[in-house]
Amino acid sequence: MVYSTNGSIFNPPELIPMLDPKTVLDLGRKVIQSQQQGYFVVKLGTIANSTWDTQLYEDFTTIIDNAHFFPTLVGFVIEASLEEHNLPFFKAAVRDMKKYLVRNRMRYIPIGLELASHLDTTVDQYFACNTLYPVDFYFSNHGLSFPSPRSGPCPEEMSICTSSLPHTPRASRCDCIMSALRCMINPKKVNQEFNELERLCDTVYCGSIENDVKQGRYGIFASCTKLQRHSIALNLYYSYNGNQASFCHAGGLGKLIAHNYSIENYQSLYDYNGKSCRQEIMDDWDRYLVGRERKKITSGERDMVNEDIDNEIETPFINSAGRTDYTGILNMLMILVIISI
């Protein structure tokens, strides 16, 4: 297979070495350039358990920031497991890393998937359909292979919805909603085993922090941190129960946040990218702050999330040559102070 990058013809060798993320971060640019005389790929990381969140996004983009300038780098790879419930998250990650390269005006670098098992034609077709950001290549046993021609509709025989993908993880969007919470989880309670979402969300509707791959419904805060997702759920539970302090404290589970600001105040704040919180969360904020009984939510209400929110967010970046016209900046330290009170 032959394809062109940066105006030159590239013939992939039979074996291509792969650098892991730790190597990229530990060795540094000069050492890697002295050791890697030929073509190589860089591994961004692994996505598992149907997760594409703000931490993974930060990890992957940090690797890109530290490796994109290597002249013999032929691609970034994401380790992929091919269970159907994971596929939308790989597809979303490829999309978001390609958009990151464009937004930051880096050279075009292919994004591929590292495979440990056989790729069937259905999955191959899924990765190419209904997207402007398809997978560029597959990496297995130190060799490259390439997707089938990009044509045809999405496969119909899959158990997942093929017409939608998880939202782009945005830490600033999570910070915006956190700033408006009146009840949040005590950080000391959150550890690896901690999980209260099932109990809280059995009572109140938590669609904003849930992902449903079969129905293709993805919450705009589902990619937030564990502490943030639990805090959003607890705040919904607290408001659903009449803002009674006992439903927030819950035996030390949560703590009340004292503030008297309006939603409009929070919507007018700006993040470090120059985006207002109103742009980060374009829907009615009450949907994410006021608890509603889960059993009374209709399927129609679950579909009301603004599906264009990520595209709307991206437009200013592409049109502004990497610069922003906004002057007001949200000091995220202020949010951290507020939520730590």
Q: Mean pLDDT: which of 152-156, 158-162, 246-250, 315-319 is highest?
A: 158-162
Per-residue pLDDT for 71 more than 80? yes
For residue 93, give both structure tokens: 């990650």
Helix residue spans in the chain (DSSP H): 21-27, 29-35, 54-67, 87-103, 121-128, 171-179, 197-203, 226-240, 245-249, 263-267, 277-280, 286-289, 299-302, 309-319, 332-340
Residue 159 lies in a domain: no
Question: Residue 288 has what pLDDT?
Answer: 95
pLDDT higher for 89 or 295?
A: 89
pLDDT higher for 2 or 268?
A: 268
- 191 with 140, same domain: the answer is no
Residue 153 lies in a domain: no
* Mean pLDDT, rounded, for 126-153: 89
Residue 242 lies in a domain: yes
Residue 32 lies in a domain: yes
For residue 170, give both structure tokens: 């945005």
Nearest CA to 243 among 182, 286, 156?
182
* Out of 5-9, 224-228, 296-300, least confident range: 5-9
- 187 with 271, same domain: the answer is yes
Question: Residue 326 has what pLDDT?
Answer: 27
For residue 248, give both structure tokens: 């927030």
Number of domains in the chain: 2
- 304 with 225, same domain: the answer is yes
- 272 with 323, same domain: the answer is yes
The CATH number assigned to the domain holding 12 equals: 3.20.20.80
- Chain centroid to CA 139: how far? 22
Domain residues for 124?
Answer: 3-145
Encode pLDDT of 31-46 as tens digits.
676 666 688 999 999 9
Residue 152 lies in a domain: no
pLDDT higher for 146 or 301?
A: 146
Residue 106 lies in a domain: yes
- 281 with 189, same domain: the answer is yes
User: Last residue of some domain: 145, 162, 188?
Assistant: 145
**Angle 171-179/226-240 helices, nearest 10 degrees?**
30
User: Last residue of some domain: 108, 128, 145?
Assistant: 145
The pTM assigned to this predicted structure is: 0.84
- 114 with 204, same domain: the answer is no
Question: Residue 37 has what pLDDT?
Answer: 66
How many Cα atoms are found within 13 Å in the side-chain-facing hemisphere of 225? 17
Residue 316 lies in a domain: yes
- 278 with 204, same domain: the answer is yes
- 99 with 225, same domain: the answer is no
Using 50, 70 and 90 to split pLDDT, how confident is the model at 141?
confident
Question: Residue 206 has what pLDDT?
Answer: 95
Encode pLDDT of 270-319 as tens digits.
877 788 999 999 989 999 999 999 988 876 665 555 545 665 444 433 43
For residue 6, give both structure tokens: 């940066």
Q: Mean pLDDT: which of 69-83, 181-195, 293-307 is highest?
A: 69-83
243 conformational bin, left if phi > 0, alpha if psi -120 to 50, beta if neither: left
* Other CB atoms within 10 Å distance of the CB of residue 235: 28
- 7 with 78, same domain: the answer is yes
The CATH number assigned to the domain holding 209 equals: 1.20.58.1040
pLDDT higher for 7 or 101?
A: 101
User: Last residue of some domain: 86, 111, 145?
Assistant: 145
CA separation for the pair 210, 291 (Å, rounded): 15
Question: Residue 314 has what pLDDT?
Answer: 45
CA separation for the pair 3, 187 (Å, rounded): 50
For residue 141, give both structure tokens: 């046993």
- 72 with 16, same domain: the answer is yes
Question: Residue 8 has what pLDDT?
Answer: 53
Question: Residue 261 has what pLDDT?
Answer: 82
* Average pLDDT of every residue of the chain: 83
Question: Residue 306 has what pLDDT?
Answer: 53
Q: Cβ neighbours of residue 38 under 8 Å, at least 6 residues apart? A: 13, 17, 72
Report percent pLDDT > 70 for the chain.
Answer: 80
pLDDT higher for 72 or 13?
A: 72
Nearest CA to 73 among 64, 86, 60, 82?
64
pLDDT higher for 241 or 331?
A: 241
pLDDT higher for 331 or 269?
A: 269
The angle at the Cα of 146, spanning 123 to 11, to the nearest 5 degrees, equals: 170
- 214 with 332, same domain: the answer is yes
Residue 125 lies in a domain: yes
- 240 with 111, same domain: the answer is no
Nearest CA to 175 among 292, 317, 57, 281?
281
Question: Residue 336 has what pLDDT?
Answer: 32
CA separation for the pair 147, 149 (Å, rounded): 6
Nearest CA to 226 among 257, 183, 197, 252?
197
Identify whether the C-beta of residue 79 lies closer than 8 Å to the C-beta of residue 48: no
